[in-house]
Amino acid sequence: MAKKNKLEFTSDVIIYPLIMVLSLWVVFWAEFRFGWHLKYYGIYPQKLEGLRGILFGPFLHSDLQHLFNNSIPLMVLTTALFYFYRDIRWRVLILGALLTGLMTWIIGRPALHIGASGIVYLLAAFLFFKGIFSKQYQLTALAFVVVFLYGSLLWYVFPIDPKISWEGHLSGFAVGFVFALLFRSNPIPKRKFAWEEESYDPENDPFLRHFDEEGNFIENLPEEEPASEEPKNIIIRYTIRKSRDDKKDSSD
């Protein structure tokens, strides 16, 4: 029996991404409101205390523009992940964020790396490559939408701006690509045609019956002879009636 299509909209598709984005804004507001200096909890490569930034770094942003630039793509890409890849969404998001932070800690420059842009690159790369590898038109279409919206992000995996953590972008991109290779299951079951079913019988296919043994097309199918039935017993009853002349003779 074919599996039920898993693409269905539920409230958690929107609620969880919204909570994640709101948490970034709450942290930023708390820093501004109470004068906290939480930037030091970012990722500082090759230092032991810098490992804490793997957990806290994605929630920290340098200014309002930095936060706004990460919020919209994070909301869009996380919603797409939660809708199309329901079974593996938490593994991709949580494990991917941890590996992205760890890779940034390994290859990064000696500076504080903060912001959720590494997760944005993780999701963009995963959704794109997974859609291409799946060879399913719904997921491939999603991949092209990601390219159309965020294809320009690719330039920032290179060191073109010293103020941007290209190491975090590159780490997220690499992890997303690897995850697209590792998670092979597709969320949309492949639709089988009638001739792909195990119970398919070509002799009962009305279309194939229009072809003879040599492959020639037959426009009009020969009419099937009705099945022979066993002869039924026929009972014939004879009734003899007297004529009028016979009635007159008998009366005389």
Residue 22 falls within a domain, yes or no? yes
Residue 31 falls within a domain, yes or no? yes
Residue 136 falls within a domain, yes or no? yes
- Reported as a pLDDT band with limits 50, 70 and 90, residue 1 is very low
Q: How many domains does the chain have?
A: 1
Q: What pLDDT sits at residue 219?
A: 59
* Percentage of the residues of the chain whose pLDDT score is greater than 90: 57
Q: Is the dihedral of CA 175, 110, 166, 69 positive or negative?
A: positive
Q: What pLDDT sits at residue 246?
A: 58
What is the residue range of 138's domain?
A: 12-182
Lowest mean pLDDT among 72-81, 97-106, 203-212: 203-212
Is a pLDDT exceeding 80 seen at residue 241? no
Q: What pLDDT sits at residue 158?
A: 92
Is a pLDDT exceeding 60 seen at residue 205? yes
Which has more confidence, 86 or 215?
A: 86
Is a pLDDT exceeding 90 seen at residue 76? yes
Say which amino acid occupies 54. Answer: I
| Mean pLDDT calculated for residue range 65-87 | 94
**Nearest-angstrom CA–CA distance, 242 and 229:** 40
Q: What pLDDT sits at residue 152?
A: 86
Which has more confidence, 34 or 252?
A: 34
Residues 96/105, Cβ–Cβ less than 8 Å: no
Residue of 211, 215, 131, 119 whose CA lies nearest to 165 = 119
Residue 216 falls within a domain, yes or no? no
Residue 70 falls within a domain, yes or no? yes
Q: Where are the alpha helices (DSSP H) in 35-161?
A: 53-56, 64-84, 89-90, 96-107, 117-134, 137-150
Q: What pLDDT sits at residue 222?
A: 59
Is a pLDDT exceeding 90 seen at residue 23? yes
Is a pLDDT exceeding 60 seen at residue 59? yes
Q: What CATH code is carried by the domain that includes residue 59?
A: 1.20.1540.10
Residues 6 or more apart in contact with residue 98 via CB below 8 angstroms: 54
Q: What pLDDT sits at residue 199?
A: 61
Residue 104 falls within a domain, yes or no? yes
Is a pLDDT exceeding 80 seen at residue 186? no
* Percentage of the residues of the chain whose pLDDT score is greater than 70: 71
Which has more confidence, 117 or 205?
A: 117
Is a pLDDT exceeding 80 seen at residue 163? yes
Q: What pLDDT sits at residue 207?
A: 61
| Mean pLDDT calculated for residue range 127-139 | 89
Residue 236 falls within a domain, yes or no? no
| Mean predicted lDDT score pLDDT of the chain | 83
Residue 195 falls within a domain, yes or no? no
Which has more confidence, 122 or 231?
A: 122
Q: What pLDDT sits at residue 8?
A: 78
Is a pLDDT exceeding 60 seen at residue 247? no
Residues 6 or more apart in contact with residue 34 via CB below 8 angstroms: none
